[in-house]
Structures are given as structure tokens and as C-alpha cells.
A and B are shown apart, each in its own frame.
Chain A
Amino acid sequence: MDLFIEILVSALLVIGGFFGFVGSYGLVKLPEPMTRLHAPTKAATLGVGGVLLASMIYFGWFGEHVSFHELMITMFIFLTAPVTGLMIAKANIHLQWTKEELPPTGAGTNWSTQSDRPSLMDDGADSRLINDGD
């Protein structure tokens, strides 16, 4: 049984390392900003998940007790990677696309990043802060 656990941990480590490598290699290799988003948010996340899973199995079998710390980190990374990808994709879209290329908002107004209207932050609050001092 020890041998089986060792093979499992080794396989998880090799797979995790390979996917982590592919994730960062894609960051350098892929041609466009939006395609470059794919590699780190998917492959690298899977690679880290593999490594953390290997660590959990190893310490659960050869250590004194089973710990679920790694599972917590894995869950956290798997939950936050799509949010990160969404934010960076949004930044890409709104910084590099022109007003005509963006899809319609359906609300009769422009996208807020492209709008001519002043934002909520421009209602004078900044000037009040500056004038009043501290």
C-alpha cells in the first residue's frame, strides 16, 4: 500500500509540475492578450491543485494526522482564478477595444468606461476633500 501511495503522489507531482510549466509557457508563447489569459487561469491553477493534492495525500498517509489545509488553499485558488480572469479580461476589453467594437449595453447608454458622463467620484467629493484639508 505504501508503494501505491508513493506512485500516486509521484504521478500527481509530475502532472502538477507539467501543467504549471505549460501555464507559464503559454503566457510567453501565445500571440494575443485575450488568448494569453487562458494559460495561467486554467493550466497553472490545475498544476497547483495537483501539487497541493499530492502534499495532502502524502502527509495524510505518512504523517500523524490528515490535514485539510491544502484542500482549503486549493478551493480558494479554484474559486479566485475565474474572478481574476474576468477582471483582467474586462481590463483588456475596455482598454483596447474602441466604442464601436464593444457590444451594445442594452440600456441606451455607453459602457461606463467609455462614457462621457462624469463618474460618481466626480460629484465634488474630491474637491471638498482637497479644500477642507485635514
Chain B
Amino acid sequence: MIAYALTFAFACFGIALLFSLYRVVIAPGVPDRILALDTMTINMIALLTLFGFREGTEMYFEASLLFAMVGFVSTVAYAKFILRGDIIE
């Protein structure tokens, strides 16, 4: 039963990743692209966790944590940059 649920979750987050990739490529404005990149990192965290789940190893949690941290910092830096032209004032 877990195998079916795992396949379903993989499919859901894979399609979600494609949707956010579409929004990165075709977007009406720069803030939308930043939001789409942030969504991509969140979807990648979920996919990494699911992959570690399927492989039965806990090795991928460090990778997920790194993705979460770097994704947050880069999103905030990019939003700050398009807002003021400076990241640290």
C-alpha cells in the first residue's frame, strides 16, 4: 500500500515541478519567476525525501536541509535585489 502511495506522491511532485518550471520560463514578471524558483526548491525537497524513503536510507535528509537553506537565502536575496538593486544596505 505504501508503494502505491509513494508512486502517487512521486507523480504529483513531478508534475508540480514541471508546472513551476513552466512558470519560470513563461512568466509575466520577475517576482513570479522568483516565486516559481522557490516553489521548485520546495518540490525538490519533497522529491529528495521521497527518494530517500524509497531507497530506505536517511542519507538524503542532509541534502534536503541544504536545499531548504540555500533556497530560502537565494529567494530572499533575489527579491531584495530586484526591490532595491542592493542586497545588503
Contacts and interface: CB of A to CB of B under 8 A. Distances in A.
A25 B5 CA distance: 20
B9 A14 contact: yes
Given A18-B12, A21-B16, A77 B45 contact: yes
Contact of A120 (B35, B53, B89): B89
B8 A13 contact: yes
B42 A51 contact: no
Nearest to A37: B35
B2 A55 contact: no
B35 A73 contact: no
Interface of A: 6-7, 9-11, 13-14, 16-18, 20-21, 23-25, 27-28, 33, 36-37, 40, 44-45, 47-48, 51-52, 54-55, 58-59, 63, 67, 69-70, 72-73, 76-77, 80-81, 83-84, 87-88, 90-92, 94-96, 112-113, 119-121
**7 tightest A-B CB contacts, nearest first:** A17-B12, A24-B16, A17-B9, A10-B5, A87-B79, A24-B19, A13-B5
Contacts of B64: 73
B54 to A, nearest CB: 10
A110 to B, nearest CB: 14
B61 A23 contact: no
B22 A28 contact: yes
A28 B23 CA distance: 6
Interface string B53-80: 1000010010011001100100110011
A87 B28 contact: no
Contacts of B31: 33, 88, 91-92, 95
25 contacts: A6-B1, A7-B1, A9-B2, A10-B4, A10-B5, A17-B8, A20-B42, A21-B12, A21-B13, A23-B42, A28-B23, A33-B28, A40-B20, A40-B36, A44-B42, A51-B13, A73-B64, A77-B68, A87-B76, A88-B34, A88-B75, A91-B30, A95-B31, A95-B83, A96-B29
